Amino acid sequence: MGGVSRIVAVLAWRNLWRNYRRTLIMLLAIGIGVWAMIFMSALMRGMTDQMVHNGLAVLPGEVQIHHPRYRSDPSVVNSMPSPTGELLAALEKPPVSAWAARVRVPAVIASERDSRGVTLLGVDPAAERALGSLPDEILQGRFLTDAADRGVVLGASLARKLDTELGKRVVIMSQDPDNNVADRGSRVVGIYRARLASNEEQFVYAGREVLQQMLTIGTAVSEVAVSANDYRQVDSWAPAIEDAAGDNLEVLTWMELDTFLSSMLSMQDGFTLILMVVIFVALSFGLVNTLAMAVFERVREIGLMQALGMRPSLILYQLLLESLYLLVLGLILGNGLAWLTIKPLESGIDISGVAQGMEMMGMGTTLYPALAYQDMLMSTAVVIVLGLLASLLPAWRAARLDPVRALNKT
């Protein structure tokens, strides 16, 4: 077969360049199509990445451990003991990269002017920093120094609503496990900004030990957040944590905690595939037309090859190979273009001008396109599989030509 496949490859390659202008145009069309596929999916991936990322910043961590009733009733009654023993050991070893135990309770915060319902987070700053769940930016003052810090840190827009400012005192109020009001006055030591304004209004940070004392819960916490730095891989390590936590605690991954985010993520690959197929279907008309023209122009020599004893299957193979060469060249071009255009943009595209309302979907005003190898692979698969399928029709018709008629065609 060596001789046959060689001659067929030579014929396919030379025929491809016979009408080089048409080939170049088609190549450009495929290249741009592939570029569009990858570029669009990079944007989409960037958006979902960001949604998940912002979502996780609030959650935070890819896995959370709670008292089994905490999620239906997030009050201090449903606290859990600080991790010890087997669970602590599991949290301290890879793949876990960071974990933090925090108190998280509904509370009311009051300034001299106004009061608001908020979520009070009692945190250990060092652990939260490792987890990456600190506020995005401190506008004024400082963040808490440690778990025993007696100050509070408010979001900028909450401070505005409360008409308070750095250095002033606020009162925080919540319930202790016996349903008594627990409260304390604290100084505002820092004002933060979050990527999402709604977060700024919701979360108030205080020292964990200070809150534990105020709520009289000893060393108990509301939740433990755990991260291994890749939210897509969470299913591979969450079960080990679950085993270590035992039966008295509920261990949930972010996919279970935030079904909206996880369904966004799982639909993304489907969306990307649909997008690619749609782009390619538009392209395939050009491809089929190009190949049909090529066959039409070469009817006589196809007839000749058949008359000389080349089996129809070889004719089919030759034309599919010609199409494959074109597709592969187009793919190289498109992937190259995509790489060249996306890499410089990975540091972010400012879309604040058109992004009003995007925040509702959990997105910021900067878009970070993400070039993913799986998207490049998927576009390659789509182009080659659909491209060859589309080429099958003209190639089939060429293979079915009657040699006598083809030779006599004038």
Partner 1 sequence: MSAIICKDLCKTFRQGEEVITGLDNVSLSIDAGEFVCLSGPSGSGKTTLLNAMGGLDTPDSGEITVGSQRLDQLGKGELADIRLNSIGFVFQAYNLIPVLSARENVEFIMQVQGVPAAQRGQLAEQVLADVGLQGMETRLPAELSGGQQQRVAVARAIASKPRLVLADEPTANLDTHSAAQLMDLFVALNEDKGVTFVISTHDTRVMGYARRLVRLQDGRLISDEAQQPHGMAQA
CB of 302 to partner 1, least distance (A): 10
Pairwise CA distance, residues 132 & 399, whole Å: 62
In this structure, what token pair is assigned to residue 404? Answer: 């006598």
Query: Shortest approach of partner 1 to residue 384 CB, angstroms?
Result: 25
322 CB-near residues (< 8 Å, 6+ apart) = 12, 13, 15, 16, 291, 294
Angle at 297 between CA 291 and CA 299, to 5 degrees: 100
Q: What is the dihedral angle through the alpha carbons of 48, 60, 151, 158, rounded to the nearest 10 degrees? A: 40
Which CB, 343 or 409, lies closer to partner 1?
A: 409
Q: For partner 1, which is the closer residue by CB, 4 or 28?
A: 4
**Residue at token pair 């960037």:** 46
Taking only Cα atoms into account, the Rg of the chain, rounded to an integer number of angstroms, comes to: 31
Of 7 and 267, the one with the shorter C-beta distance to partner 1 is 7
The nearer residue to partner 1, 5 or 179, going by C-beta atoms, is: 5
**Nearest distance, CB of residue 398 and partner 1, angstroms:** 14
Q: How far is the CB of 315 from partner 1 (least distance, A)?
A: 10
Q: Which residues bind partner 1 (CB under 8 A)?
A: 1-4, 6-7, 10-11, 14-15, 18, 300-301, 304-312, 314, 403-404, 407
Closer CB to partner 1, 11 or 370, in the complex? 11
Tokens 């199509």 belong to 33
Write down the least CB distance from residue 293 to partner 1, Å: 16
Name which of 29 and 304 has its Cβ closer to partner 1: 304
Q: Which residues lie below 8 Å from residue 104, measured CB to CB, with a gap of 6+? A: 74, 119, 120, 121, 122, 222, 223
Which of left, alpha, beta for 179 (phi over 0: left; psi -120 to 50: alpha)? left
Closest separation between CB of residue 388 and partner 1, Å? 22
- CA distance readout (Å), 118 to 104, 105, 174: 10, 9, 10
